[in-house]
């Protein structure tokens, strides 16, 4: 199949540092190419892929020149796919809602993977405006705020099996990896580590908008010894950071749609101690790949129970459930469903007079735009 992938422009694909969505897109691109598909990535010009790259903006916005207008960059992304839509059998968007008006009018089957939270005001109105647009959720929990959307699948993220090497040693510290925002729970992670008398290593970026939060709530508690900030880590440094940890702390207090860091830890054989929010019960297997807890007291107790978990079993469950090849095959199924529905719709068009050329053109214009049956997971 000829497949277009539309990526956000805030980060490159894959990202240089932080960026879960862009990392997943990179893995999906490479796996689809390995499956024999002709895949084109619409992304920033500093992206790298085994497929074809259509650069729509010179450099990722977050690490590029300050003052770049994100709306202008997104406008160019949408115009690029509008111009080239007929080159593809199916279009896969990772850019939320903005491309929907254009994609709905191209006549090319498309789907949209939602990567963010969906419990925001006004989103139900968008769903109502595009009832035939097909959506993929990354967890069942993510789709709860929008039950009336045309959900065609839940496809959990996957990553390459050989990307991270596992470690089966018990680890000497607790790890926190992610953005330093209140909803990610870094304050709770610090309190849990101190109460459990374990060192905490924090690998995270500080969003510009969260500088005041960091200065007031976190910096006074980071002593450089027991609580140490190691900064934002790239793919190379992330593996030893996670592999050397006794556990990843994931004390979130928001409905996390997936939480890529959880499976990155599992790939290293590192168990996860996570709060029961969002997708956590769908990702962590309590007592096998980590512990699901409801508060700090339970998290502290879980730290003391880490010795009974088998890190080899953690890695094995990662390979069974969260490989990028599994993710790509599940998307491949949905692409074929969309394309097949388009073919069936074209064949059902009845044109009087037997004008074959006219019939072909009319049928082509009648292709559905992103519709599919609710095939679940």
pLDDT above 50 (res 374) = no
Which pLDDT score, from 0 to 100, does residue 349 have?
60
- DSSP helix/strand/coil, 184: helix
Is pLDDT at 209 greater than 90 in this prediction? no
pLDDT at 368: 36
What is the reported pLDDT for 342? 74
Print the domain residue range for 253. 173-321
pLDDT of residue 235: 83
Q: Which residue has the higher pLDDT, 350 or 40?
A: 40
The pLDDT confidence band at residue 179, using thresholds 50, 70 and 90, is confident
Q: For residue 312, tell me if it sits in a domain.
A: yes
Instruction: Examine residue 137 and state whether it is found in any structural domain, yes or no.
Output: yes
Q: What is the pTM of this model?
A: 0.89
Q: Indicate whether 84 belongs to any domain.
A: yes
Q: What span, in angstroms and rounded, lies between the C-alpha atoms of 302 and 71?
A: 45
pLDDT in tens, 112-132: 999 999 999 999 999 999 999
The reply to whether 8 falls in a domain is yes
Average pLDDT, the chain: 91
Q: What is the pLDDT of residues 161-172, one digit of tens each?
A: 999 999 999 999
pLDDT score of 205 more than 70:
yes
Mean pLDDT for 32-39 is 98
Q: Which of 36, 76, 40 is nearest to 58 (CA)?
A: 76
CA angle 331, 285, 135 (to 5 degrees): 25
Q: How far is 172 from 168, CA to CA, in rounded Å?
A: 12
Residues 219 and 153 in one domain: no
Concatenate the DSSP letters of all residues of 277-299 into one string.
-TTHHHH--BTTTEEEESSHHHH
Domain membership flag for residue 168: no
| Radius of gyration from C-alpha coordinates of the chain | 22
Looking up residue 260, the CATH number of its domain turns out to be 3.40.50.2000
Query: Can you give the pLDDT at residue 369?
Result: 35
Percent of the chain with pLDDT over 70: 90
Packing angle of the helix pair 260-267, 235-243 (nearest 10 deg): 70
Beta strands 200-205 and 90-93: pairing type? unpaired
**Do 313 and 340 belong to one domain?**
no
Residues 92 and 136 in one domain: yes
Q: What's the pLDDT score for residue 346?
A: 65
Does a structural domain hold residue 376? no
Q: Say yes or no: 309 and 202 in one domain.
A: yes
**Total domains, the chain:** 2
User: Exposure pattern of 94-113 as b/e (b: 16+ CB <10 Å)?
Assistant: bbbbebbebbeebebbbbbb
Q: Is residue 372 domain-resident?
A: no
296 within domain boundaries: yes
The predicted-structure confidence for 268-323, as pLDDT tens digits, reads as follows 999 999 999 999 999 999 999 999 999 999 999 999 999 999 999 999 999 999 99
* pLDDT tens for each residue of 47-105: 999 999 999 999 999 876 666 889 999 999 999 999 999 999 999 999 999 999 999 99
**153 and 7 within one domain:** yes
Claim to verify: residue 7 and residue 152 sit in the same structural domain: yes
Q: Are residues 142 and 229 in the same domain?
A: no
* 98 and 244 share one domain: no
């Amino acid at each position: 199949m000829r497949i277009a992938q539309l990526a956000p422009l805030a980060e490159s694909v894959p990202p240089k540092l932080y960026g879960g969505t862009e990392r997943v897109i990179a893995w999906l691109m490479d796996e689809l190419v390995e499956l024999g598909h002709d895949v084109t990535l619409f992304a920033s010009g500093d992206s790298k892929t085994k497929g074809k790259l259509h650069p729509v903006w010179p450099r990722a916005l977050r690490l590029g020149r300050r003052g770049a207008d994100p709306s202008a960059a997104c406008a160019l992304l949408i115009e690029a796919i509008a111009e080239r839509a007929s080159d593809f059998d199916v279009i896969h968007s990772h850019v939320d809602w903005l491309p929907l008006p254009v994609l709905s009018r191209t006549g090319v089957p498309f789907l949209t993977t939602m990567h963010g939270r969906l419990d925001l005001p006004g989103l139900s109105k968008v769903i109502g405006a595009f009832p035939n647009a097909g959506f993929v959720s990354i967890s069942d929990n993510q789709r709860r705020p929008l039950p009336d959307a045309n959900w065609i699948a839940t496809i959990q993220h996957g990553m390459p099996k050989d990307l991270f090497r596992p470690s089966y040693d018990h680890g000497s510290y607790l790890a926190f990896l992610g953005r330093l925002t209140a909803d990610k729970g870094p304050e709770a992670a610090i309190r849990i580590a101190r109460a459990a008398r374990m060192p905490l290593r924090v690998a995270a970026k500080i969003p510009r908008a969260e500088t005041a939060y960091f200065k007031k709530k976190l910096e006074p508690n980071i002593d450089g010894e027991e609580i140490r900030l190691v900064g934002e880590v790239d793919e190379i440094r992330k593996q030893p950071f996670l592999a050397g940890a006794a556990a990843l702390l994931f004390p979130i207090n928001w409905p996390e749609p997936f939480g890529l860091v959880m499976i990155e830890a599992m790939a290293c054989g590192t168990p996860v101690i996570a709060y029961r929010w969002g997708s956590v019960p769908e990702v962590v297997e309590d007592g096998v790949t980590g512990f699901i807890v409801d508060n700090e007291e339970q998290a502290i107790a879980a730290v003391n129970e880490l010795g009974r978990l088998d890190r080899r079993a953690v890695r094995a469950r990662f390979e069974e459930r969260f490989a990028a090849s599994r993710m790509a095959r599940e998307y491949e199924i949905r692409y074929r469903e969309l394309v097949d529905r388009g073919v069936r719709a074209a064949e059902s068009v009845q044109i009087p007079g037997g004008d074959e050329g006219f019939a072909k053109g009319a049928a082509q214009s009648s292709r559905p735009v992103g519709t599919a049956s609710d095939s679940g997971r």
